[in-house]
Structure 1
Amino acid sequence: MKTTNRPLVLASVMLAMFIGAVEATIVSTAMPSISAELGGFSKYSWVFSAYLLMSTVTVLLYGKLSDIFGRKPIFAIGILLFLAGSLLCGLANSMEELIIYRFVQGIGAGAVLPIATTIVGDIYSAEERAKIQGYLSSVWGISAVTGPAIGGILVASIGWEYVFWVNIPLGILALLGVMIFLVEPAAKKKPTIDYLGALLLTVALSGFLYWLVEGGVGFAWLSAPSLLLVSGAAAVFFWFVQVERKATDPMMPFDIWRNRSILFANLVSLFTGIILIGVSSYLPAYVTGVMEQPATVAGFTLTAMSIGWPIAAFFSGRLLIQIGYFQTSLLGGISLVIGAVLFVLMQAEYGPWWAAMSSFFIGVGMGLTSTAFIVSIQAAVSYEQRGSATASNIFMRNLGSTIGAALLGSVLNSTLLNYFRSTGQNFTLNSVNELLTEDGRAALPQDAMDFLQEGLAQASQNVYGLTAVFALISLLLIFGLPRKRGMSGNGQ
């Protein structure tokens, strides 16, 4: 009887997680070049939001489908869609085209991270998972935050298109490894797919996201379009909840949320997702535009996060066994607060080393918490619910990143617009494009550059102030986790 080749499946899963996570952030340092070539700084946040929205909406559906049909076929569908989107993104001729292709990428990405993580939960025991999930969290952390550094190198050497195309050979390898070397049990469940639930969640999140991105920019916060959007999104989400409660096989099984390990881990993950996207998306613009550093240095400030993340994830697996989920998560929450406060205190004259130190602490916090949460959640459910339970945590972190990209992007844009209006200067959001490249800064008069840099600095400070608030909320929520020691700490 053929058996799973665990080392090769693990290697394939880690590669899949690498490309899935890296794509959320690899465009960060490439965006100044992309924005300069394609135009449209006002649509800057949509490049991130489009990808995150679709990967967030689809992650729950893919998790449920993998419980019904098995991991391999759903994983294959997700990877192929993701690679098709990557190819198209590199061929984009306008910012609007790029955003559309990022939607396609995101639809595929929704399958990659949750199913890769679930496969590991299937083939390793609870005790082994603590160590293995540490490796996976390291890969996720390294890819998520070295993405900007890789992006900077690719942009400087061969062009921004390769930021997307680099995924294609890696994705093919990951797909072949899982399809050939993973042996999974035959599906036992009769397929019942919650299409209505998936549609309602997509509509609700899309409406809410559009409201966050365009609020204060495309329309006033206190206006009829604003009220219509947010009330409509809330109504559709309420309908979604009602549908899920009555569905035979709901896309989001709310019963798993009654477990305290799952409930509080997922709530914390929502806010850590906001923190992660706040740092990775907007720090490069600050480092290049205000500190006047090249893209490679901006990438370095985020790469510091990739040093803290895998180190913390490595020790997290061991800490879980020694001191339990709660203490490990608490250490992570404290580190997130330290990193966020350091960002709030950051000034342009402090230089990129300060930004790198702040990123390092965020990385340590993410490494400790993400590993602890996945291990505790997978230990709390059966095989039949593992895909959905794992997907619920990744959904919440993705939802946080989706909300963060939209909310923090709106804060950045609205702060800049208010700054321009209050000073009576004739600048637009697209004027900020000039700060993001050396040639652009050289073409600006000194007084105009000083003015724009001050505006971008103020807007960035508002973004990091809000990020610090979310870090504090994360720390407080961690106190809701069960406090049993060791691997059995999955209290209800």
Structure 2
Amino acid sequence: MAKKNKAGLIIAALLLATLMASMDNTIVATAIGTIVGDLGGFDKLMWVTSAYMVAEMAGMPIFGKLSDMYGRKRFFIFGMIVFMSGSALCGTADSIIELSIYRAVQGIGGGALVPIAFTIMFDVVAPDKRGKIGGLFGAAYGISSIFGPLIGAYITDYINWSWIFYINLPVGIVAFFMIAFFYKESVEHTKQKIDYLGAVTLVASILCLMFALELGGKEYAWNSGMITGLFAAFAILIAAFIFIERRAQEPIITFGMFKNRLYSTSNIMAVFSGAAFITASVYIPIFIQGVFGGTATSSGLVLLPMMVGSVITAAGGGFLLSKFNYRFIMIATLALLVAGMALLTTLTTGSSRFMVTILMILVGLGIGSSFSVLSNAAIHGFTAKQRGSASSTLSFTRELGMTLGITVFGIIQSHLFTNKLGAMFGSGGQTPENLNLSDPSKILTPETRGQIPAQILDKITEALSSSLVQTFAWAIIPAVIALVAAFFMSKEKFDPASELEEYTALH
């Protein structure tokens, strides 16, 4: 007879771990200015975030597959230990290079924690409660976006930036012991051959892609030999990865799983909805602060309405899983996302803050269910031995969509804004007062705005507003693609009764 799990304690531990890992980047983003001020290395600033993202994205599908092969518990605990070790090291960093290396260690741990947490939840929670608990996990992503920046700002201002990393240790230790003592894994696992070659080509391809996206347009021109070479290396390596995986005995990513219509459409929606959502998340605060002259101390305060909306539909989507099919829920909510993105294009310098708040809520309501419903849809119909791989691949595609989204739409916005400034003040974007405003962040502070004559400031804010609105218009495209993909979903519904037999056998 299988040993009984203490589900409540396990779920609490998984939620703590999920919050910790998903909140990490938002906490760091708030403190990055102070960190660079202490450690120096402004030119290497981007690596503090990118190192974490590269390691996390590369690790997700690998750890997901390994957890299917050798067990969830051991790799979740491994991820927890690595994440906490990286956190402890980050707090001791003496240079930006050291911090970036330690952030990569954190990312390796995060790559194991996030996807495996949801898979463990699916294993230990009774079928009739999975929708509700899945909604809580989806809500955790929204909550992390709200509180991450606020916690990061408070710790940086009143304690020390190193504690944004050290705070992970007590939280992680609690979650570690709760999983170690109370989670009794029921699924049987058999040793299989590890696809080392597939793992190497996957990690290398992601590294090349991330380096190209991060360095392009900043350190090197997009048409430079370095950037084109990185993109070429990515294309070659990803082609090699696909070739290897299709022939591997136990591939890291099982492409045969994409023959499942529900699974493949879930991944498509994760990519494109993630790209649209991250664009709104990044550029709405810029609109509020740059165009309205807002004085919000962190993006967490600015985006609070959006994140509240996402938490509502993340939790609500989980509750509705047993009442409606995945397709209906995703069509309904993604239609809200498309509507929200479309209405963002109507913003002008004369729009009210109340209108922007309403649109943020609408966008949040549109994206929330993708955090909970898609996580359930992606593993629907797969056996317990395949769920780790299915869940981790969905997490990977969502992260990839967000990364590509912020890069592509960042290029678009920067190009539009620079061109408009050039038309107004000359090709260099210089105002008559010699204030370099080629970067919108230059007019986000009250101090800078106070130095610019009113008539010039009006022109600049008009240019910024126009560039942001056009960027929102471009971001409608991935939102629409996600909505179209929802119409192609098969009509399966989360049915607790059909899952009960397997759950009973395991427990």
Give the TM-score of the pair, scaled to structure 2. Answer: 0.85
1:487 aligns with 2:495: yes
Q: Find the counterpart in structure 2 of residue 294 from structure 1.
A: 295
Q: Find the counterpart in structure 1 of residue 505 from structure 2.
A: none
Equivalent pair of 1:28/1:280 in contact (CA under 8 Å):
no
Residue identity over aligned pairs, in percent, reads 32
Equivalent pair of 2:13/2:175 in contact (CA under 8 Å):
yes
Q: Find the counterpart in structure 2 of residue 209 from structure 1.
A: 210
Q: More helix per residue: 1 or 2?
A: 1
Equivalent pair of 1:146/1:306 in contact (CA under 8 Å):
no
For 1:351 and 1:287, locate their aligned partners in 2 and report how far apart those are by CA, in whole Å. 10
Q: 1:464 aligns with which of 460, 463, 472?
A: 472
Cα distance, 1:209 vs. partner?
2.4
Cα distance, 1:42 vs. partner?
7.2
Q: Find the counterpart in structure 2 of residue 5 from structure 1.
A: 6
1:3-402 to structure 2, matched below 5 A, reads 3-31=4-32, 46-92=47-93, 96-185=97-186, 187-296=188-297, 298-350=299-351, 352-402=353-403
Task: String of CA shifts for 1:204-228, please: whole Å, max 9, x gaps.
Answer: 1222222233333444434444433
The alignment partner of 2:325 has SS state of: helix
Cα distance, 1:377 vs. partner?
2.5
Task: String of CA shifts for 1:390-440, please: whole Å, max 9, x gaps.
Answer: 111111111112222333344444455555666232776896665455556
The alignment partner of 2:495 has SS state of: helix
Task: String of CA shifts for 1:32-81, please: whole Å, max 9, x gaps.
Answer: 55566667877666544332222111100110111122112211221222
Cα distance, 1:485 vs. partner?
5.0
The alignment partner of 2:191 has SS state of: coil
- Aligned pair count reads 489
Amino acid aligned to 2:495: M
Greater Cα offset, 321-330 or 159-168: 159-168
For 2:71 and 2:99, locate their aligned partners in 1 and report how far apart those are by CA, in whole Å. 32
Amino acid aligned to 1:51: Y
- RMSD, aligned CA: 3.2
Cα distance, 1:5 vs. partner?
0.6
Distance 1:10 1:97, change over 3 A: same
For 2:193 and 2:211, locate their aligned partners in 1 and report how far apart those are by CA, in whole Å. 31
For 1:204 and 1:69, locate their aligned partners in 2 and report how far apart those are by CA, in whole Å. 25
Which structure 1 segments of 5+ residues have no match? none
Greater Cα offset, 82-91 or 134-143: 82-91
Greater Cα offset, 20-29 or 106-115: 20-29
Equivalent pair of 1:145/1:280 in contact (CA under 8 Å):
no
Amino acid aligned to 2:148: G
For 1:71 and 1:468, locate their aligned partners in 2 and report how far apart those are by CA, in whole Å. 38
Q: Which has the larger radius of gyration?
A: 2
Task: String of CA shifts for 1:442-475, please: whole Å, max 9, x gaps.
Answer: 6x55478777756654554454333222111111
Give the TM-score of the pair, scaled to structure 1. Answer: 0.88
Distance 1:101 1:487, change over 3 A: same
Equivalent pair of 2:127/2:497 in contact (CA under 8 Å):
no
